[in-house]
Structure 1
Amino acid sequence: MMNYSLLLVDDERGLLDVLELALRKDGFQNIHTATTGIEALNKIKTQTFDLIILDIMLPDIDGLEVCRQMRTQINTPIIFLTAKGTDMDKILGLTIGGDDYITKPFNSLEVIARVKANLRRQQFIANAPKMVEEKRFYLNNNVQVFEESGEIYVDETLIECPAKEFELLIFLCNHPNRIFSVRQLYQKVWGDFYLGDEKTVTIHISRLRKRIEADPKKPSILVNVRGLGYKLILKDKEQKN
């Protein structure tokens, strides 16, 4: 627990002393305090905290507003501490960005238990495997290709596509604006030695054009470079909105 940095915000110095003493006895050593909202907001600009205990009734800015401003800068867990105990106060506090709520008078052991629970939750989130955003290709303004899920959307409509056609499209998406001969495409996508039959590749290109081109007879995505082969036109391989 000694590695965690805590910020306690309350205008009652005696209450801060009680909380700080209880937390230190439980192993928390890196503890900071503030008696006003302005002081608390200034502290988060220069220091990093793992958890904040925030009183709602402060002399300058109420704790709810302090929380709102903090949430524009940090995601640190915030436990509200207040003498108010109505359901609406609790709901409002949690809605504007609080993570937990303790009402006065309180038992120091309860506060410590809440602190530990929120720190464990935060640690779990930090250590959880991050979801990797699926690779997406924007072929133009209305065609999107999702590599991992094997999906093609045209004007937000899912388009069916056989596996080998999709493999060919993904290969070209991953190598945009580069010309490949029929021989190269056959070997890269089908993985077989090229025997001189162009029909397999050209038929798959033709089918893909019918799925993704606005006018398959005048393709603007899968284009033919006469005498050299095919290439997929893509300004940015992975564009984002």
Structure 2
Amino acid sequence: MNSDNSATILIIDDEPEIREIVHIFLKNEGYRVLEAEDGERGLALLQTETVDLVILDVMMPRLGGIQACLRIRENGNLPIIMLSAKNEDMDKILGLTSGADDYVAKPFNPLELVARVKSQLRRMKMTEAPPPQEKPQDEMAIGELTINILRHQVMLQGKEVALTPLEFDILELLATHRGQVFSVDKIYETVWKDPAMQSDKTVMVHIRNLRDKLKDNPREPKYIKTVWGVGYKID
């Protein structure tokens, strides 16, 4: 990944006015900015350009944001921030379930979007930092689950589990503080490194995705347990 001030941001949105205003604010921060008017054009640009983060609208002609997000996720963990004119919970859940890292509802404050971009780039940069020499304590086992912190690798019954960076960070947080209950807001502030603002759905969807990948039945959880009215923990 490029350093923050040289990162390339791809805006995929069918509204020229939205692309223009976001382009201006990002360019003022020193970012290189690319634009695409629909999902198909955006995917084509990703084949020819080195992109560090995608801002992706949900409702677009030809290829919508949800489908484009799923396609992008097939090829890696590129940070994705989804935009939507609808501030409905279901839209947010669909966006996050399809693999988006964050969600911003239109109309939005461009400065808030820039702050979200910076947060995602910081998080990704920390994830990609070269690890120090590995030590035995950097790997932990919880039942049939093995977590290697430095390699960002999770094994379940001897088979590797493909997690997004955010899913891994949530799992690492809970696993390295076994028995401690983390509220939704605390998980968001720790993992996303941003103040918790309407973070409940975002965290809950990522927890649900994580449980699905770990085959962890929430009614009889082996790993991630819900402490009702408080938060989540791993014993």
Shorter-chain TM-score bucket reads 0.5 to 0.7
Matched with 1:33 is 35
When residues 66 and 131 of structure 1 are mapped into structure 2, their CA distance, relative to the original with a 3 A threshold, is: farther
Matched with 1:68 is 70
In the TM superposition, 1:91-110 aligns within 5 A as 91-110=93-112
What TM-score do you get using the length of structure 1 for normalisation? 0.52
Matched with 1:205 is none
Matched with 1:56 is 58
Matched with 1:5 is 8
- Deviation of 1:15 (Å): 1.0
Matched with 2:121 is 119
When residues 7 and 128 of structure 1 are mapped into structure 2, their CA distance, relative to the original with a 3 A threshold, is: same
Matched with 2:21 is 18
Task: Give the distance between the partners of 2:88 and 2:71, measured in 1 at CA.
Answer: 23
- Deviation of 1:132 (Å): 5.7
- Deviation of 1:91 (Å): 1.5
Residues 162-207 of structure 1: CA deviation (Å, up to 9, x unaligned): xxxxxxxxxxxxxxxxxxxxxxxxxxxxxxxxxxxxxxxxxxxxxx
Task: Give the distance between the partners of 2:124 and 2:53, measured in 1 at CA.
Answer: 9
The code of the aligned residue for 2:23 comes to: E
When residues 124 and 58 of structure 1 are mapped into structure 2, their CA distance, relative to the original with a 3 A threshold, is: same
Task: Give the distance between the partners of 1:125 and 1:34, measured in 2 at CA.
Answer: 27
SS in 1 for 2:128: helix
Task: Give the distance between the partners of 2:86 and 2:66, measured in 1 at CA.
Answer: 13
SS in 2 for 1:69: helix
Matched with 1:129 is 131
When residues 97 and 130 of structure 1 are mapped into structure 2, their CA distance, relative to the original with a 3 A threshold, is: farther
Instruction: Point out the structure with max Rg over C-alpha.
Output: 1
When residues 86 and 129 of structure 1 are mapped into structure 2, their CA distance, relative to the original with a 3 A threshold, is: same
SS in 1 for 2:54: strand
State the identity as a percent.
Answer: 41
Residues 73-106 of structure 1: CA deviation (Å, up to 9, x unaligned): 1311000011111112111211111000000000
Task: Give the distance between the partners of 1:42 and 1:4, measured in 2 at CA.
Answer: 19
Matched with 1:45 is 47
Task: Give the distance between the partners of 2:27 and 2:47, measured in 1 at CA.
Answer: 24
When residues 101 and 128 of structure 1 are mapped into structure 2, their CA distance, relative to the original with a 3 A threshold, is: farther
Task: Give the distance between the partners of 2:5 and 2:47, measured in 1 at CA.
Answer: 22
Q: Is the 8 A contact 2:5 2:30 kept in 1?
A: yes
Structure 1 residue ranges (4+ consecutive) displaced by more than 2 angstroms after TM superposition: 130-134
Task: Give the distance between the partners of 1:56 and 1:131, measured in 2 at CA.
Answer: 42
The CA RMSD over aligned residues, in Å, is: 2.0
The code of the aligned residue for 2:109 comes to: N
The code of the aligned residue for 1:32 comes to: L
Task: Give the distance between the partners of 2:82 and 2:64, measured in 1 at CA.
Answer: 11
Unmatched tracts of structure 2, length 5 or more: 137-157, 159-235
Q: Is the 8 A contact 2:40 2:63 kept in 1?
A: yes
SS in 2 for 1:74: coil
SS in 1 for 2:6: coil
